[in-house]
Amino acid sequence: MKNEELVSINNLSFSYNKHKVLDNVSLTICKGEYLGVIGPNGGGKTTFLKLILNLIPLQSGSISLFGIPINQFKDWSKIGYVPQRLGQKETTFPATVYEIVSLGYFSKLNLLQKISDAQKNKQIQKAMEIADVWNIRNEMITQLSGGQQQRVFIAKSLVSSPQLLILDEPTVGVDVETQEKFYNFLHHLNTVHNLTLVIVSHDIEVVVNEVNKVACLNKTLICDVPPKQFIQEDYFTQVYGKSRRLLLHNH
């Protein structure tokens, strides 16, 4: 039986001032997948994510989320998003971890909906426990390390119980040990909590080791294959040339 399609992208093209960054990209993301989106700088990865999240308007092609065309899609609580190095902005913002995580509840709410504080707090606590940040709930976000901040932002995304979590370069500037723990945590979310993950990363070696599907974007979709096939068919050389080698290592 075919898995449920959470994201369905057909013939997607996008240009900034006549400069084409995406050309005729088609891709589906199914329930339970852990998709790694890789590609060289300027290959259209971030634009691709922004289009899926409806942060920039469609120009050509179509996107459906949970079977609904994106311009009619309303239930954004089904999708969690952790943007690139959100933590870098947090040098002065005076808020506690709990206050930041509770923002994640917002996508579940509308103004007419009345939900008890107890119910809300329970859901926030659950998300914080999954991300292992409950014990630092009263800390100021500015006092945390980069790795801890990323966990907080993931906890925020988990509050609305999403089915799909999208992360843009989540480990840039994070040390190797913290990175390893972080990817173990993502693996746990994918396998134990059955959360569909999409991760955009420059770190191809790590991504290829962690994910169960690799999508390589360089304006067009070069490949959309399992990691093993990505290595065997040498898609890496096709995109990055022979001067760069893929170093695989096990975590």
Partner 1 sequence: MNINLLEIFQYGFMVRAILAGLIIGSIAPLIGTFLVAKKYALIADTLAHVSLVGVAIGLFIGINPLYTALAVAMLVAVIIEKLRTDQQLSGETALAIFLSGGLATAIVLLSLSRGFNVDIFSYLFGSIATVNSVDLWLMLLLGVVVAATVVIFYQQLFYIAFDEETAASSGIDVKKLNLLLLLLTAIVVGMAIRVVGALLIGALMVIPVVTASKIAKSFKTALFLSIVISLVSVITGLIVAFYLNLPAGGTIVIVSLLFFGLTLLFKSP
Using the rule CB under 8 A, is 89 a contact of partner 1? Answer: yes
- Contacting partner 1 within 109-128 (CB under 8 A): 109, 111
- Contacting partner 1 within 93-112 (CB under 8 A): 93-96, 99-100, 103-104, 106-107, 109, 111
Using the rule CB under 8 A, is 51 a contact of partner 1? Answer: no
Using the rule CB under 8 A, is 198 a contact of partner 1? Answer: no
Using the rule CB under 8 A, is 218 a contact of partner 1? Answer: no
Using the rule CB under 8 A, is 138 a contact of partner 1? Answer: yes
Using the rule CB under 8 A, is 225 a contact of partner 1? Answer: no
Q: Interface mask (CB under 8 A) for partner 1, residues 142-161, using x and -?
A: -----------x--x---x-
Using the rule CB under 8 A, is 77 a contact of partner 1? Answer: yes
**Considering beta carbons, is residue 27 or 166 the nearer one to partner 1?**
166
CA separation (Å) from 245 to 43, 236, 242? 19, 8, 7
- Which residues contact partner 1 (rule: CB under 8 A)? 53-55, 74, 76-77, 79, 81-83, 86, 89, 92-96, 99-100, 103-104, 106-107, 109, 111, 138, 140, 153, 156, 160
